[in-house]
């Protein structure tokens, strides 16, 4: 890593898996700390590291802290770090103190979180409510807006009622869809439109809906004219047994007819040359009308949805004004607007720091909208002598569906006002020799012309690709070659030897289960060394049922959700109680969770319930004249104070702090006073992450206890931990979640994913259309462009999956006839065979 680049500079690190990109980024962070001089919160705030997920941000913070500790203790690793970063043990110590003291100023976060903080800083100037809140769960926000529309329609808003009716008609007639739940499908389509707009630009049509009726009539007229003229000139349609002539007479009922796809009239009719020449323009006119009709139909299909969607957006705007809620895509646009007005100095002033250096991890998954929101800030920081280091690997771009745009990787240095440098990291530091060589052989094959073309054709067209040259397949093949060119990695001089690749072919899924049962318990000293990687959550569920039945300790992504931790459950129960002290269920949760050290919880509750059963009279007596029968009132009652000494006092003390201190300080106080760190050692990781979440929430949304609880209920509880090290349980997770991680042994039990088809396409003229076969040529181009991106993503997923293993990699192939069509398993199979590996049949 070059340590003395002159500022300003942009450094691009593009390297394959396990090459040390995140490792270098962490070191660069420490190096920049050194360059900032004496540790202050302002200096800390000027250094921004952007990660792809909150989990990755939490992990990077941990890495920074543990690196500083190593340096303070001058361990061998610490000495190496000191040498590489220039930080002496003393400097490391004072930075660590500053970081721990001003933890909230540590700017290691996701792009969305950074952009939202900035947005809050300029909310007033942008005419937004200052108590603006982020709604990260766009489906929920949209569901609310949709419900409000339904309500308005139900209350007699005529225009809206008409719109809903139109959508339903399109749904039932044009799309031939039925079923019991049109509402669910309509909601889903609106959500797709919303996502499309957030990630890929405006959804509004530049033109109104086309006149489908007129196009239908024109098509039928041309079809009939053609049949009449053919007959008039003594010609006949080919293949009378298939009724080609009839198809031209009634094209609307024969949209998929073969003769409509022929390139020339000579392929459709039998007639002398001069007749064919004479009628060819008519056939061409028919074909054009046919294409225009198909195009209009696709746009028309979406038109009522677009109108409803326009209303939905108005509703979203109302929610924003009424409640200050704003969705992710919305804030990216707003911040872009603010920055384009040259507000950067003002933003810095509000943030209390100038941003000087940016570090960005996993850059290949950044979306254009995200980049555009950040760009002006980065330009500004470069203009003031700062730097940008961004790292990534286009082979690992697996978030195209969320707008990730790996082409930005090359564009960025050209658009920025600073000298650009590039660093190669040629070694793979992660895996043993066998694994590195396996991946080298497999993935370098994808950079070969013939193989790339075979893969491209298969992924785009399945088992029956068109013969000869196909422009889409050639384009995809070129991109595959370009992506995997340079995939070969070197082994560092002292790389660990060995490693194992095990490849099996099985006939039924049951056999995969059998092999797992055989291999998992016997092969590894510790279960914690094994990760089973899958494509979908459903597969993860299936596998965890199996491992559960086998009696193997297992940890899945869901098990790491914060809401699943007993400590966090009791803590949120305590917050619910503090928000509303009459919430008996919440207080019961606090007592039963053992949060308060001195509570004989069951005894208290039994007593309370017995009293309750005896009748309100008795309880009201405890509570004095109060009418609310609350557990809290019961605990506070003097009669019981001595039995349950301290409980009510503690609760009262906490209650006294609500609203006077921040939610974060309130919870930290609870941790200290109840000695939770010591009393719940197994839950430390959950507790730390929870505190971080509270802090992040507070920074971004400034909310009180109620606000935090709303956020928690609406999805905060789904936040999860990174997979903890040292836990002796088999990890089951999706390949998406495994990105950036590594494990001693990796199993890929179901490598058979296909590319996903998205019927929503953007046409050349900017309009959106809904693609169903047969496609207009214009739709075909957009559709194939989308398919090409998805095909690349499917291959990239394979690359991510196969590069997570340090020592052992196990892959199962299912050869059951149930597995039909062309999938990634087929690609992998051929790559493995050509690379000369043996697949064992069982």
Binding residue (CB under 6 A) for ligand ATP from 393, 470, 557, 823: 393
Candidates 17-25, 42-50, 205-213, 290-298; binding stretch for ligand ATP (CB under 6 A): 17-25
| By the rule CB under 6 A, 17 interacts with ligand ATP | yes
| By the rule CB under 6 A, 458 interacts with ligand ATP | no
Candidates 12-20, 612-620, 784-792, 826-834; binding stretch for ligand ATP (CB under 6 A): 12-20
Mode of pairing for the β-strands spanning 805-814 and 743-748: parallel
Question: Dmax over Cα atoms in the chain, in whole Å?
Answer: 111
Candidates 21-29, 62-70, 709-717, 826-834; binding stretch for ligand ATP (CB under 6 A): 21-29
Q: How far is the CB of 334 from ligand ATP (least distance, A)?
A: 32
Which residue carries 């029956």 as its tokens? 464
- In this structure, what DSSP letter does residue 155 have? T
Binding residue (CB under 6 A) for ligand ATP from 803, 811, 813, 825: 803
Distance CA 120, CA 118 (A): 5
For the window 348-387, what string marks contact with ligand ATP as x by the rule CB under 6 A?
----------------------------------------
| By the rule CB under 6 A, 79 interacts with ligand ATP | no
Which residue carries 């200290």 as its tokens? 672
| By the rule CB under 6 A, 78 interacts with ligand ATP | no
Q: Which residue is nearest to ligand ATP (CB)?
A: 20
For the window 739-778, what string marks contact with ligand ATP as x by the rule CB under 6 A?
-x-x------------------------------------
CB neighbours of 190 closer than 8 A, spacing ≥ 6? 142, 146, 305, 308, 309, 312
Q: How far is the CB of 808 from ligand ATP (least distance, A)?
A: 16
| By the rule CB under 6 A, 22 interacts with ligand ATP | yes
Distance CA 564, CA 717 (A): 8
Q: How far is the CB of 426 from ligand ATP (least distance, A)?
A: 11
| CB nearer ligand ATP, residue 23 or residue 102 | 23
Distance CA 619, CA 597 (A): 26
Binding residue (CB under 6 A) for ligand ATP from 23, 103, 461, 640: 23
| By the rule CB under 6 A, 809 interacts with ligand ATP | no
User: Residue 51 in contact with residue 716, Cβ under 8 Å?
Assistant: no
Which residue carries 């966090």 as its tokens? 568
| CB nearer ligand ATP, residue 18 or residue 330 | 18
| By the rule CB under 6 A, 98 interacts with ligand ATP | no
| By the rule CB under 6 A, 736 interacts with ligand ATP | no
| By the rule CB under 6 A, 404 interacts with ligand ATP | no
Q: Binding-site residue total for ligand ATP (CB under 6 A)?
A: 15
User: Residue 367 in contact with residue 328, Cβ under 8 Å?
Assistant: no
Of residues 417-436, which lie at the interface with ligand ATP (CB under 6 A)? Answer: 429-430
Residue 778 gets the label, from left (phi > 0), alpha (psi -120 to 50) or beta, of alpha
- For residue 534, what is the enclosing H or E element? strand 530-534
- Using DSSP, state whether 644 is helix, strand or coil: coil
Query: Quick count: other Cβ atoms within 10 Å of Cβ 642?
Result: 7
User: Residue 282 in contact with residue 222, Cβ under 8 Å?
Assistant: yes
Residues in a beta bridge with 392: 14
Binding residue (CB under 6 A) for ligand ATP from 18, 633, 769, 825: 18
User: Residue 80 in contact with residue 108, Cβ under 8 Å?
Assistant: no
Helix %, strand %, coil % for the chain, to 5?
60, 10, 30
Residues in a beta bridge with 14: 392
Binding residue (CB under 6 A) for ligand ATP from 9, 14, 21, 720: 21
Encoded tokens for 301? 């299909």
Distance CA 609, CA 229 (A): 92
Distance CA 379, CA 376 (A): 5
| CB nearer ligand ATP, residue 431 or residue 663 | 431
| CB nearer ligand ATP, residue 743 or residue 747 | 743
Applying CB under 6 A, the residues found at the interface with ligand ATP are 15, 17-23, 393, 396, 429-430, 740, 742, 803
């Amino acid at each position: 890593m070059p340590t003395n680049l002159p500022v300003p500079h942009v450094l691009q690190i593009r390297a394959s898996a396990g090459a040390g990109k995140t490792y270098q980024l962490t070191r660069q962070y420490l190096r920049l700390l050194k360059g900032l001089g004496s540790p202050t919160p302002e200096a800390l705030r000027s250094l921004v590291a952007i990660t792809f997920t909150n989990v990755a941000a939490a992990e990077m913070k941990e890495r920074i802290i543990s690196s500083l500790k190593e340096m303070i203790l001058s361990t061998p690793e610490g000495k190496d770090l000191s040498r590489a970063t220039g930080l002496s043990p003393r400097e490391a110590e004072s930075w660590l103190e500053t970081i721990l003291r001003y933890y909230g100023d540590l700017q290691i976060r996701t792009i969305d979180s950074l952009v939202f903080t900035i947005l809050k800083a300029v909310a007033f100037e942008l005419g937004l409510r200052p108590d603006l809140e982020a709604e990260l769960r766009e489906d929920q926000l949209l569901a609310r807006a949709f419900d409000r529309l339904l309500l308005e329609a139900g209350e007699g808003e005529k225009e809206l009622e008409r719109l809903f009716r139109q959508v339903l008609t399109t749904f039932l007639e044009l799309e031939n869809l039925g079923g019991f739940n049109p509402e669910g499908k309509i909601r889903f389509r609106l959500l797709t439109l919303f996502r499309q707009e957030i990630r890929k630009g405006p959804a509004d049509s530049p033109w109104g809906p086309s006149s489908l009726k007129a196009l239908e009539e024109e098509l039928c007229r041309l079809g009939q004219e053609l049949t009449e003229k053919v007959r008039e000139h003594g010609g006949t349609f080919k293949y009378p047994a298939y009724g080609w002539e009839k198809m031209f007479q009634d094209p609307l009922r024969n949209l998929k007819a073969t003769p409509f796809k022929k390139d020339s009239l000579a392929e459709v009719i039998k007639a002398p040359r001069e007749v064919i020449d004479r009628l060819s323009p008519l056939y061409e006119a028919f074909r054009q009308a046919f294409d225009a009709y198909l195009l209009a139909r696709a746009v028309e299909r979406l038109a009522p949805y677009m109108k409803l969607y326009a209303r939905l957006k108005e509703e979203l705007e109302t929610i924003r004004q009424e409640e200050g809620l704003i969705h992710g895509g919305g804030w990216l646009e707003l911040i872009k607007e603010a920055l384009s007005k040259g507000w950067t100095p003002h933003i810095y002033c509000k943030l209390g720091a100038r941003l000087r250096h940016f570090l960005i991890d996993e850059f290949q998954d950044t979306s254009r909208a995200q980049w555009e929101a950040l760009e002006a800030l980065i330009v500004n920081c470069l203009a003031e002598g700062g730097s940008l280091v961004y790292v990534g690997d286009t082979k690992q771009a697996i978030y195209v569906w969320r707008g990730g745009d790996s082409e930005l990787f090359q564009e960025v240095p050209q658009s920025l006002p600073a000298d650009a440098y590039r660093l190669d990291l040629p070694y793979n530091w992660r895996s043993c020799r066998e694994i590195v060589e396996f991946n080298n052989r497999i993935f370098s094959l994808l950079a070969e012309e013939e193989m790339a073309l075979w893969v491209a054709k298969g992924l785009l067209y399945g088992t029956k690709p068109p013969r000869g040259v196909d422009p889409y397949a050639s384009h995809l093949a070129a991109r595959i070659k370009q992506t995997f060119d340079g995939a070969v990695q070197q082994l560092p001089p002292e790389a660990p030897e060995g490693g194992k690749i095990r490849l099996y072919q099985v006939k039924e899924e049951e056999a995969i289960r059998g092999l797992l049962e055989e291999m998992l318990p016997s092969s590894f000293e510790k279960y914690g060394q094994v990760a089973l990687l899958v494509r979908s959550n459903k597969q993860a569920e299936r596998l965890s049922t199996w491992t559960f039945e086998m009696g193997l300790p297992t940890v899945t992504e869901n098990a790491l959700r914060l809401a699943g931790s007993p400590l966090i459950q009791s803590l949120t129960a305590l917050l619910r109680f503090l928000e509303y002290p009459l919430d008996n269920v919440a207080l019961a949760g606090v007592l039963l969770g053992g949060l308060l050290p001195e509570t004989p919880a069951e005894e208290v509750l039994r007593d309370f319930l017995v009293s309750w059963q005896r009748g309100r009279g008795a309880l009201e007596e405890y509570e004095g004249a109060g009418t609310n029968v609350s557990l809290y009132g019961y605990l506070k009652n003097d009669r019981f104070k001595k039995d349950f000494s301290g409980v009510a006092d503690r609760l009262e003390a906490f209650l006294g702090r609500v609203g006077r201190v921040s939610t974060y300080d309130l919870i930290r106080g609870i941790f200290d006073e109840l000695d939770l760190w010591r009393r719940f050692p197994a839950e430390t990781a959950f507790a730390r992450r929870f505190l971080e979440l509270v802090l992040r929430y507070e920074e971004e949304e400034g909310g009180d206890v109620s606000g935090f609880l709303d956020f928690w209920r609406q999805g905060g509880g789904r936040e999860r931990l990174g997979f903890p090290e040292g836990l002796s349980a088999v990890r089951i997770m999706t390949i998406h979640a495994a990105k950036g991680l590594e494990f001693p042994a990796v199993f890929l039990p179901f490598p058979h994913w296909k590319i996903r088809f998205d019927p929503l396409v953007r046409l050349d003229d900017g309009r959106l259309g809904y693609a169903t076969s047969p496609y207009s040529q214009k739709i075909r181009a957009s559709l194939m462009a989308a398919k090409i991106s998805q095909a690349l993503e499917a291959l990239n997923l394979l690359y991510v999956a196969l590069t997570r293993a340090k020592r052992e990699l196990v892959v199962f192939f299912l050869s059951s006839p149930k597995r039909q069509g062309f999938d990634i398993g087929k690609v992998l199979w051929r790559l493995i065979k050509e690379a000369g590996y043996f697949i064992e049949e069982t």
